[in-house]
Structure 1
Amino acid sequence: MKYKKLFFALFFSLLIIYSFGQQQTTVASLYNPKEVFAQNFYKNKGNEIRSANGAPGPKYWQNRADYNLQAAIDTVKNELSCNETIHYTNNSPDSLPSLWIQLDQNTYREDARSNFYSGPGAEQHTKGFQFESITVTYKGKSFNADYIITDTRMQIRLPRALSSKSKIDISIKYHYSISIFGGRTDYLMTKNGKIYEMAQWYPRACVYDNLEGWNTLPFLGSGEFYCEYGDFDYTVTVPNDMIVAGSGELQNENEVLSDQQIQRLAAARKSDKTVMIRTVGEVNRRTAHYVSNGTKMWHFKMYNSRDVAFGASKAYVWDAARVNLPGGKKSLAMSVYPVESAGEDAWGRATEYLKKSIEFFSTNYFVYPWPVAVNEAGTAGGMEYPGIVFDGWRDKAGELYWVTAHEIGHNWFPMIVGSNERRYAFMDEGFNTFIDVYAADDFNKGEYAPKRDGEYAPGKGNPADEIIPYLKDAEAPTMMARADAVIEKYRHPIEYFKPAFGLVLLREVILGHDRFDYAFKKYIEHWAFKHPSPDDFFRTMNNEGGEDLNWFWREWFQNNWQLDLTIQSVSYRNNDYKRGADITIVNLQKMAMPFNIEIVLKDGSKQNLQLPVETWLQSAVHTIHLPTTQPLQSVTIDPAAMLPDSNRGNNSWE
């Protein structure tokens, strides 16, 4: 077979004849080992900023943005107003002649780019951010900012460049209308009052990094966020009959909560069972008899975060429970929701879902770093921010568990591991969907398991089969496509499902649990509260997993190649089974994978052979010689159907 292997290595596209008894079929192979295993996978060499082993280098840097925010909500006008100060630190080696700020609320303007990039524009609009004043303070001197606004970005042009290792303050006074139609900043009418979900509610510093410089892609909607890390000190002033649930830790319980609520919260911090802080009866009774008079200011702090969000309402039912973290650490899980969402088949278990998810992710990946986590019910229907998630108020049972686990899982990707969602959605959506798979298996002995095919249809079928239509679809984008360039038809399968299933393949088929888990956790440790790129992930998995996986990154992440393994022939040496059997396997498509073969002997006993990916290093054809003492009954490739083989009909010989 030595000459035959060389023949296929040089002429991969020639016809392959494979036979079953006397029947012969002619099929063309598309496999080219020189393409799959090509050298020089990385465009850039490792350096002092980003090391070749995937870790941040000794000279890695990232800029910092700390925020002071004093916000107020006018519940009559449905308007948020705010005084904001961004304390910006330039840790880069570069002098910055200007600063770029994200203005996400401008995506709701009538002239926003987001109205035009994917079809007909929205029918409802706001005026976006309305600025009253913008000032800059640099080296003790304050001046009115020289700025321009382009869609969802603002450029502040400095009279003197911000030098390396220097700090500058930007103070912004603004307001904007809160829309009822916004997907992430919105309000919901309930029978006991409005529920406000407040996200992307303040101008945020764009990221300046060593990969792109300023990251100024506009906010179009699908591509989400890329933010600098910093500390947040913020207040929210609302009518005094409202509750505010926000990212971070409440600083002034004694000023905004009743004595009874304070006592119940103290009990919840010691309880593994959910404790009611504000019951359904108390919401109904207070709403019916309590008249709002004046306002309260809720004060929160959150450290080492890339964002903050909050919910506010007088309609909230409120419960909480302790979260047990590795090393004896504790956190607090809370849920706030309207009475319409109450019940043990619905949001009555929301805190349980939140608590158990955080405990699982903390034990297996990275310890949850913040003192509080909030599950908030509203219209956003599944949106994540550090320390708080917005989930659908109508969600129940398994649907509520899955969305809760998924959204709080985003606190690991990208809130802890701070990837660029606006460019590479797979690094947050896909990685998070992957950890959901194992969280669902673990929760309450698999009450809502399995979750095997992405976010929206858990347990529907075999993921190896369900991904195949997208591998065959010539119009499907790859995972490396810019997030906003992926049309809705492909958004879930390509950004969520395919990367998640790819990591399952790495763990279950290619590396094994031990090597994968070690490498994956090292990636999280390397890039916690930092900004990784896809190459940083690929390099970490290669180095810490001890395998050159560039063939896999190329075929699965950079391309949508197919796999089709087939049995070409099974024969006995000199027609005598006592001399052993020759089993010839052919790779008909462009993807290479390690694979398992199950051999059933005449007496019903079985043998399993595990073939590595090097089987395909030189050729599209591989022959295995199997010593035998009895005839073969059947030979099957991938009997457990773990691989995305596009034609399982040619995987068996009998």
Structure 2
Amino acid sequence: MIKKLFLGLVLTGSLGMSNVIAQQGLDNNQADFGEFMNRKGTYTRTASGKPSENYWQNSANYQIEVTLNEEEHVLAGKVTIDYINNSPEELDFVWLQLEQNRFTEDSRGTLTTPIQGNRYNGDTDGGYEISAIQAKVGKKGNVSSKYLISDTRMQVWFDEPIPAKGGTATISMNFSFKVPQKGMDRMGRLEVEDGWIYAFAQWYPKVAVFDDIEGWNVEPYLGAGEFYLEYGDFDYKVTVPYDHIVVGSGKLMNPKEVLSSELMDRYEKAQNSDETVYLVSPEEIQNTELTRPKQEGMITWHFQIQNSRDIAFATSKTFIWDAAKINLPSGKTILAQSVYPKESDGEEAWSRSTEYSKASIEHYSEMWYEFPYDAATNVAADIGGMEYPGLNFCRYTSKGEGLWGVTDHEFGHNWFPMIVGNNERRYAWMDEGFNTFINHYSTLAFNDGEYPSTLNQTRRYNNYFLNENREGIDTYPDVANTSNLGMVAYMKPAIGLIMLREYVLGAERFDNAFRSYIETWAYKHPQPTDFFNHMENVAGENLSWFWQGWFYGNGNIDLGLNAVVPYAGNYVAVINNKGDIPMPVLLEIEFEDGSKERQMLPVEIWQRGDTWNHLIKTTKKVKSVVIDPDKVLPDINLGNDSWPQPIYED
């Protein structure tokens, strides 16, 4: 017996064309097309998605000196923060983030971690020791030592308010903490055969953001929610045992003081080489006479980075160190470098890390916006993958496709959120999702597709879209179910941007808008509405239906092709929208002579109903019609997007 798997309308015989036309609904679908949220301009942000002439943003510059006690696994030092209040109001106090306080038994993060644990488990015997707090306004203000610490936040008070519109203040303090071995998959220490690898992140007290949307952003550091930070300049010095190598965000300012003459020659050679150069080879890890300028005591490494929102560094005596030149579109060259232990060595593993790093940075700089920092550093550590300005921590056991993927992803974060400084604590999709999107094209470009992109087939994620426990993109990361976070923050928003680029807008319109968004909001703090407004204004398209359906809804796409019937010497395709999200309809029509043509129907066909009759004007005989022939859309029903519909024998 022949059985149709999906029964369409058989529009022949007694069912005339008038009945087909009558199927077109007259329901008003304006709920799908209306403005779903207030996206009007404000005093500080324009309706076109740009900072207005009244936009303001505070900043903080840091001077930090720390010393590592390797025997006790303790980092101790001093931080001085110069804070600039560009806001229109006086500030009686500032809030700081003390993220090392997450590693205590009674922290909110510890107490909200499930008993069975999750990715964000961390040690609980750490936390800051804070002393010698001094805070004053201007250069001659009275010194205040008044402060309050609450979990991962610290409130510092002044004897007088910081003036509005350019007032300055200085805050300084001593701090120390035990370096966690398990640092929530973001930082910590790893013991390998030759010693310890220290990965330092969230390691210094830093100012929270005071913005025009919420005032002080003081969400605690719990786990999944990452960071929201002000921009500024950093000058930091790290004192370590003489046999350590230190790599950090920004530029190494004193290479001649910390490198031997031989290592200095190799360092300069790498800066001019497109091929990877060993600074410290696997055989030279313990050969300090060759690679270090001194043979005892401690040594200080000095780094600087400008207009950055954070810094991180790594230090170890176990590092293999290699590097190569990165070529930027402006003609400037910078350094790609990798440090890793012998456990990570090998051509199938970390020996290709610098090659991956160089390719990643060069691609993003050419396609989207030029990389702004002096070095791009990949560090092997016991961390799945974590990003900081100009420096990554990636799993030391990663190899091949996995190492490319994590390296490329973490370097992609230099664009989102390091250059475009969105609020990761609330809108993880604006950094993880956007980054996953640009990773797709970087992977396609690397060695002409040496490794496959996980987003080549969007329908592979349909199991999630059909799961009744799925959550929307707008779910805050610390609220989302951990099992859903990969889709909520990474894959679903990335798929949304792929649909916009490859299906809705086209590459040229999308790229113009996306590049403009990056340039417009570089080193600033965009909100979701700024992104939506800017994309619409530059691309020239009202996309409210898309933002509402995909980014702020939890429904699915299901376009169907009911039938194709002859009509007045032509053909009519009967199409319906069975899903929750309206979409344009791309038809590929194949004729009996083997020729094909494509026709795109605009999304507005769904403004007055969920059924549409499209006239295919042709003198040829139609053999087949398919919706979304390139399978860009994650359409949840694979069986109703083609005609004739498939038939199967029992």
TM over 0.5: yes
Query: Cα offset for 1:250?
Result: 1.0
Name the counterpart of 1:9.
none
Which residue identity does 1:156 align to in structure 2? V
Query: Cα offset for 1:481?
Result: 1.6
Name the counterpart of 2:160.
160
C-alpha deviations, 1:178-208, integer Å up to 9, x for none? 0111122311111111110000000110000
Contact 1:468/1:646 (<8 A) preserved:
yes
Q: Would you say 1:175 and 2:176 are equivalent positions? A: yes
The change in CA–CA distance for 1:394 and 1:81 in structure 2 (over 3 A counts) is: same
Which residue identity does 2:83 align to in structure 1? Y
Name the counterpart of 2:523.
529
Give the counterpart of 1:201 among 186, 199, 203: 203
After TM superposition, the score normalised by the length of structure 2 is 0.92
Query: Cα offset for 1:98?
Result: 1.6
Query: What is the DSSP-based 3-state SS (H/G/I as helix, E as strand, rest coil) of the residue aligned with 1:650?
Result: coil
Which residue identity does 1:160 align to in structure 2? E
Name the counterpart of 1:296.
299
Query: Cα offset for 1:29?
Result: 10
Which residue identity does 2:476 align to in structure 1? R
Contact 1:178/1:186 (<8 A) preserved:
yes
Name the counterpart of 1:403.
406
Contact 2:26/2:608 (<8 A) preserved:
no
> Percent identity among equivalent residues?
43
Query: Cα offset for 1:44?
Result: 4.6
Query: What is the DSSP-based 3-state SS (H/G/I as helix, E as strand, rest coil) of the residue aligned with 1:483?
Result: coil
CA–CA distance in 1 between the matches of 2:609 and 2:298?
Answer: 74
Query: Cα offset for 1:350?
Result: 0.6
Query: What is the DSSP-based 3-state SS (H/G/I as helix, E as strand, rest coil) of the residue aligned with 2:60?
Result: strand
The change in CA–CA distance for 1:262 and 1:17 in structure 2 (over 3 A counts) is: closer
Q: Would you say 1:642 and 2:632 are equivalent positions? A: yes
Give the counterpart of 2:596 among 602, 606, 617: 606
C-alpha deviations, 1:40-67, integer Å up to 9, x for none? x442521341111111111111000100
Contact 1:135/1:144 (<8 A) preserved:
yes
CA–CA distance in 2 between the matches of 1:28 and 1:124?
Answer: 62
Query: What is the DSSP-based 3-state SS (H/G/I as helix, E as strand, rest coil) of the residue aligned with 1:369?
Result: coil
The change in CA–CA distance for 1:363 and 1:288 in structure 2 (over 3 A counts) is: closer
Name the counterpart of 1:79.
74
Give the counterpart of 1:586 among 569, 573, 576: 576
Give the counterpart of 2:58 among 51, 57, 63: 63
Query: Cα offset for 1:218?
Result: 0.3
The change in CA–CA distance for 1:618 and 1:240 in structure 2 (over 3 A counts) is: same
Query: Cα offset for 1:117?
Result: 2.4
Name the counterpart of 1:434.
437
CA–CA distance in 2 between the matches of 1:468 and 1:110?
Answer: 40
Write the mapping of 1:22-101 to structure 2, written as runs, cut at 5 A: 33-39=29-35, 41-101=36-96
Name the counterpart of 2:18.
none
The change in CA–CA distance for 1:30 and 1:440 in structure 2 (over 3 A counts) is: farther
CA–CA distance in 2 between the matches of 1:123 and 1:189?
Answer: 17
Name the counterpart of 1:151.
151
The change in CA–CA distance for 1:579 and 1:468 in structure 2 (over 3 A counts) is: same
Which residue identity does 2:606 align to in structure 1? W
Name the counterpart of 2:19.
none
Name the counterpart of 2:313.
310
Query: Cα offset for 1:626?
Result: 2.2
C-alpha deviations, 1:198-241, integer Å up to 9, x for none? 00000110000001110000001100000000000000001111
Query: Cα offset for 1:30?
Result: 14
Query: What is the DSSP-based 3-state SS (H/G/I as helix, E as strand, rest coil) of the residue aligned with 2:417?
Result: coil
The change in CA–CA distance for 1:445 and 1:162 in structure 2 (over 3 A counts) is: same
C-alpha deviations, 1:62-118, integer Å up to 9, x for none? 000100000010000000001111111100001112210001001111001112324
Which residue identity does 2:593 align to in structure 1? D
Q: Would you say 1:368 and 2:371 are equivalent positions? A: yes
Contact 2:262/2:291 (<8 A) preserved:
no
CA–CA distance in 1 between the matches of 2:602 and 2:627?
Answer: 13
Contact 2:237/2:301 (<8 A) preserved:
yes
Which residue identity does 2:170 align to in structure 1? D
Write the mapping of 1:534-549 to structure 2, written as runs, cut at 5 A: 534-549=528-543
Contact 1:321/1:355 (<8 A) preserved:
yes
CA–CA distance in 2 between the matches of 1:521 and 1:23?
Answer: 55
Q: Would you say 1:279 and 2:281 are equivalent positions? A: yes
Name the counterpart of 1:8.
none
Query: What is the DSSP-based 3-state SS (H/G/I as helix, E as strand, rest coil) of the residue aligned with 1:327?
Result: coil
Give the counterpart of 1:512 among 506, 512, 521: 506
CA–CA distance in 1 between the matches of 2:559 and 2:309?
Answer: 46
RMSD: 2.4
Which residue identity does 1:586 align to in structure 2? N
Query: Cα offset for 1:530?
Result: 0.6
C-alpha deviations, 1:399-455, integer Å up to 9, x for none? 11111111011011000000000000001001011111111111111111x3133xx
Contact 1:30/1:589 (<8 A) preserved:
no
Which residue identity does 1:172 align to in structure 2? M
Query: Cα offset for 1:603?
Result: 3.5
Query: Cα offset for 1:288?
Result: 13
The change in CA–CA distance for 1:287 and 1:397 in structure 2 (over 3 A counts) is: farther
Q: Would you say 1:269 and 2:271 are equivalent positions? A: yes
C-alpha deviations, 1:520-548, integer Å up to 9, x for none? 00000000011111111111100000101
Name the counterpart of 2:346.
343
Contact 1:319/1:351 (<8 A) preserved:
yes
Name the counterpart of 2:4.
none
Greater CA deviation, 280-289 or 222-231? 280-289
- Number of positions where the alignment pairs a residue of Structure 1 with one of Structure 2: 624
Query: Cα offset for 1:475?
Result: 2.8
CA–CA distance in 2 between the matches of 1:602 and 1:267?
Answer: 63
CA–CA distance in 2 between the matches of 1:42 and 1:500?
Answer: 21
Name the counterpart of 1:353.
356
CA–CA distance in 1 between the matches of 2:222 and 2:270?
Answer: 40
The change in CA–CA distance for 1:47 and 1:265 in structure 2 (over 3 A counts) is: same
Name the counterpart of 1:128.
127
CA–CA distance in 2 between the matches of 1:537 and 1:296?
Answer: 46
Write the mapping of 1:551-630 to structure 2, written as runs, cut at 5 A: 551-573=545-567, 579-630=569-620
CA–CA distance in 1 between the matches of 2:27 and 2:187?
Answer: 49
Name the counterpart of 2:473.
479
Name the counterpart of 1:10.
none
After TM superposition, the score normalised by the length of structure 1 is 0.91
Name the counterpart of 2:137.
138
Contact 1:239/1:292 (<8 A) preserved:
no
Give the counterpart of 1:325 among 328, 348, 354: 328
Unpaired runs of 5+ residues, structure 2, are 1-6, 16-22, 645-650
The change in CA–CA distance for 1:564 and 1:142 in structure 2 (over 3 A counts) is: same
Query: Cα offset for 1:34?
Result: 1.5
